[in-house]
Structure 1
Amino acid sequence: MEIEIIPECLQFKKPAGTSRGVYTTRQIYLIKACHNNTIGWGECAPLPDLSQDALSQDEYLTLLQRFTCEIEMTQQIPYEELRPYPSMLMGLESAMRHLHSGSWHHYPHTKFSKAESGIPINGLVWMGNIEEMNQRMQQKLKEGYTCIKLKIGALDFDDELQLVKKIRRQYSSTDVEIRVDANGGFQPGDGCMKKLEQLAQLNVHSIEQPIKQNQLDDLAKICQNSPIPIALDEELIGVNSLSEKKELLQYVRPQYIVLKPSLHGGFYGAEEWINEARKLNIKWWVTSALESNIGLNAIAQWTALQSNDQYSMAQGLGTGLLFVRNFDEVPLKLANGKLYTF
């Protein structure tokens, strides 16, 4: 087996506003694994200022090359060595699964791979000013999404609350599910709880990461007392060992965790999170992290494998159409708020 690393700089069709700034380009590293005239593709996609393995390009390539050489020699992925490098692990896992399956359909027996069912996804409303967010929100509703995810915490909260109220005036909670993501934008204390109570009055499904990470005592109190379910996202970054995962979930006791394989341990680490969450009756969903269609396909194929719940609960897999060049050979399409393969 031979493995090649191909750096790629993707161009966003439109600037993508996040809580950490605006992205216009996206640096990724494609993995091309070849064996007996069969090719497997994977994607390593670290996020600047967020991924644990967001290194300089030279550092990233040097380390990734070391791991690919080891895999070429041993024919095995060194999972324990790769725990601190989740984006590398996901890319290498994806390439191996593609290579071994011989198809973009990594797990051909699932309903998703057989094109029998699509995976419902949330309609993500990117950050912007209130008018821009309202226009994007209305467009998602027109496109048939029944789950809308709003990024909040960066603008005036009263204005953000008006966006949620606007949806609720149009649709009941049984017709449209609303999720919000604060990206750590709230401060612990009574002010945070008041905001959660206002959101609860609008039948918001859940809120991701209400306060900044590494405030576990405050976060545990919020999870215990919040009138709406709390979902952990950034809090999972850098929690690599199985014992650390157990300790975090047992102490904080969130209602949900949001799994991003590129950030949270690759598929190997994400499955550990799922197993521990199930023991504590903590629910979960999966989200992509601005990968191209190559990474998005790998995440979707893996998500469909996990349980039948993934065909009823909206996942965060709607970021695959963001780039000018996006590997159209990958068999993915969006329709009526669902992600399909073909």
Structure 2
Amino acid sequence: MKASYKKYILDFKRPSGTSRGILHQKETWFFVLQGEEGFGIGECGILRGLSIDDVPAYEQKLKWTCDNIQLGRNKLWNELLDFPSIQFGVEQAFISLESKEPFELFPSPFTREAMPIDINGLVWMGDEAYMHEQIQQKLADGFTCIKMKIGAIDFKTEIALLSSIRKRYNKEEIELRVDANGAFKIEEAMEKLKILSQYDLHSIEQPIKQGHIMEMKSLCANTPLPIALDEELIGVTDVVEKEYLLKTIRPQYIILKPSLVGGFKGSEEWIQAAENHNVGWWVTSALESNIGLNAIAQWTATLKNDLPQGLGTGSLYTNNIDSPLTVKNGKIFYQKSVAWDTNKIEQICI
């Protein structure tokens, strides 16, 4: 068996804003295994400025992983604790290599086209007109759950956007989630949560920056609005530490991004800890290409979680890899009649 990797730059169709800045491109790495009977492929989806493995030695670690591929999937996972996105890419590649079809990692009713997954529609930060345009498009596209990025433009403007949705749709018709990406100052967070709670929101992701455990604990204990931890999970790799974090903060939800928390195995450890402490959860992609998104969607389908998942990011790029993943009426489908872009995949695997 031979392992290799290749860098790939994804280009956004339109600059996409978060509280950490505006995204024009997304860097990713494909990890490829060549065996006697075929190939396996995975994606190491790093997010600059957020991933714990955003370090100068990242590519060197990819090379080390290729050179030590004989260690196998489980030993490599343990050796790569500080590189969760590489853990995830290696997991995908081994499962892909062992599968009957390299892109059907987890056969299920989802991959048999019988059961799509409910997802949220993502609204990126921007000026008021652009955000309103996105909201209207998501509603027209049949989404009944909308997630809105907040924290970068004027808070009053964001509240006005939420108010405009609620004047037209009640919480039974449209579920609203917001994601602050840690943008709120600690001293103003509770007041903002009180204001946001007036609009019947499902939840808010990461209202303050990660690492302020006692402050987050206090917010979760007193919040009028359910809080979901996201960035707070990054870099916590030990099972005991995962249990401690959830036992201490006691959030209402956690959000699992496999590229940021150690792939399937790391995510499953978080799920177990969440269920031990009666914490809800759902899965979200981390802006991967369709290679990584496909793996996440198929795995998520096996978990049988009824909440809308965050898997609607496949249409963000001009140069994504065409795949059977299709979003329609607020759901993601796996349509086998739509082929993978074999030309691009061959170029990656060479």
Scaled by the length of structure 2, what TM-score is found?
Answer: 0.92
Counterpart of 2:298 in structure 1 is 301
Shift of 1:68: 2.3
Shift of 1:72: 3.1
Counterpart of 1:113 in structure 2 is 111
Would you say the 8 A contact 2:18–2:152 is kept in 1?
A: no
- Structure 2's unaligned 5+ residue stretches are 336-350
Confirm whether residue 331 of structure 1 aligns to residue 324 of structure 2: yes
Shift of 1:192: 2.0
Confirm whether residue 340 of structure 1 aligns to residue 333 of structure 2: yes
Structure 1 SS opposite 2:79: coil
Counterpart of 1:37 in structure 2 is 37
Counterparts of 1:90-129 in structure 2 under 5 Å? 90-103=88-101, 104-108=103-107, 110-129=108-127
Distance 2:77 2:314 in 1: 27
Counterparts of 1:1-342 in structure 2 under 5 Å? 1-56=1-56, 59-72=57-70, 74=72, 76-103=74-101, 104-108=103-107, 110-189=108-187, 191-306=188-303, 308-309=304-305, 312-328=306-322, 330-342=323-335
Counterpart of 2:339 in structure 1 is none
Counting matched residue pairs gives 334
Distance 2:47 2:71 in 1: 29
Q: Which amino acid aligns with 2:105?
A: H
Q: Which amino acid aligns with 1:134?
A: H
Would you say the 8 A contact 1:77–1:92 is kept in 2?
A: no
Residues 154-163 or 249-258, more deviating: 154-163
Distance 1:263 1:78 in 2: 17
Distance 1:242 1:76, change over 3 A: closer
Shift of 1:61: 1.8
Shift of 1:55: 2.3
Distance 2:302 2:296 in 1: 10
Would you say the 8 A contact 1:38–1:102 is kept in 2?
A: no
Q: Which amino acid aligns with 2:149?
A: K
Scaled by the length of structure 1, what TM-score is found?
Answer: 0.95
Structure 2 SS opposite 1:184: coil
1:260-310 C-alpha deviation (Å, 9 max, x unpaired):
01111211111100001001110101111110000100110111111x22x
Distance 1:42 1:95 in 2: 4
Structure 2 SS opposite 1:247: helix
Distance 1:219 1:73 in 2: 40
Distance 1:302 1:73 in 2: 24
Distance 2:317 2:189 in 1: 36
Distance 1:48 1:128 in 2: 20
Distance 1:182 1:76, change over 3 A: closer
Distance 1:181 1:19 in 2: 9
Distance 1:161 1:332, change over 3 A: same
Distance 2:198 2:157 in 1: 16
Distance 2:240 2:211 in 1: 17
